[in-house]
Structure 1
Amino acid sequence: MPHRSRLSILLLDLPPEHHAAGSTFWAGATGRPAAPDADDENWASLGSFADGWHVEIQRTGDGTPPRWHVDIETDDVEAEVTRLEALGATRHRFMAGRFWQMLDPAGLVFCVVGVQTGEEFDRHAVSWP
């Protein structure tokens, strides 16, 4: 069954000891305020950039190294995960019963999530057979 997906979000994963400094740095580097999420103190957004590409800041738990990761948003998580597995990705963890944390062939972390960006998804998503 056809589905759509797009590379949509770059996340800055910052453990607690780096979160404040990293948020301040990236807000200054991009010229965008790190707008806190009103519903979740672990999230802030630097907003939407070219072609609806979002940059988000995530406070991770202790033990997670500072890193970047990307989210691929899709209108069919299972179909997209299966498509990416055929390209060499592996499932790592099913997160919160909603999305997959995966590893690319080199071991880099990325997530496959449901649609997060609404209108931007419709405008920029790729259709897959």
Structure 2
Amino acid sequence: MHHSKLSTLVLDCQCDDLRDATAFWSAALGKPIAKVNVEGDGNYAELETADDEPLILLQKVEHPSRVHLDIETDDQDAEVARLEKLGAKRIAYVRGRWWVMEAPSGHRFCIVHKQRKAFGPHLNRWD
């Protein structure tokens, strides 16, 4: 048995500097900026969200701008296998930390480890 849930709305931003995109989305969504330069490489920023809301992450990318979802889980291998049975396919394992997957509809999404200390309350249980 394992658990998973929607974790993060990721705004993929094709840009030279993530600061302008972060300022725009902060104002547009009414969410203060929680962190800029999350990993020290200028590629990630995070907006503040309540504990029961998905995280909102901005990511600097080379591909065209889009939005993708992250699903967090307490068993990454089991969640990837479950989604493959539903028709998803593995695209890439990134930095030894998350799987980029593709849904049968062509949408890309990521399978990540738990993102917040409190994993609940909106968990799905999979046997």
TM over 0.5: yes
Distance in 1 (alpha carbons) for counterparts of 2:106 and 2:50: 27
Task: State the TM-score, normalizing by the size of structure 1.
Answer: 0.87
C-alpha RMSD over aligned residues: 1.8
Q: Distance in 2 between matches of 1:53 and 1:89?
A: 22
Tell which deviates more after alignment, 69-78 or 27-36: 27-36
Structure 2 counterpart of 1:47, one-letter code: E
- Equivalent residues in 2 for 1:15-26 (5 A)? 15-17=14-16, 19-26=18-25
**3-state DSSP class of the match of 2:84?**
helix
Deviation at 1:49, TM superposition (A): 4.3
Which residue of structure 1 lines up, in the alignment, with residue 69 of structure 2? Answer: 70
What TM-score results when the alignment is normalised by the length of structure 2? 0.88
Partner in structure 2 of residue 79 of structure 1: 78
Aligned position for 2:120: 122
Report the Cα distance in structure 1 between the residues aligned to 2:56 and 2:22, rounded to whole angstroms: 11
Extract unaligned runs of 5+ from structure 1: none
Kindly indicate which of the two structures has a greater share of residues assigned to helix. Answer: 1
Q: Which residue identity is paired with 2:36?
A: P
Relative to structure 1, the CA distance from residue 29 to residue 50 in structure 2 (aligned partners, 3 Å threshold; closer, same or farther) is farther
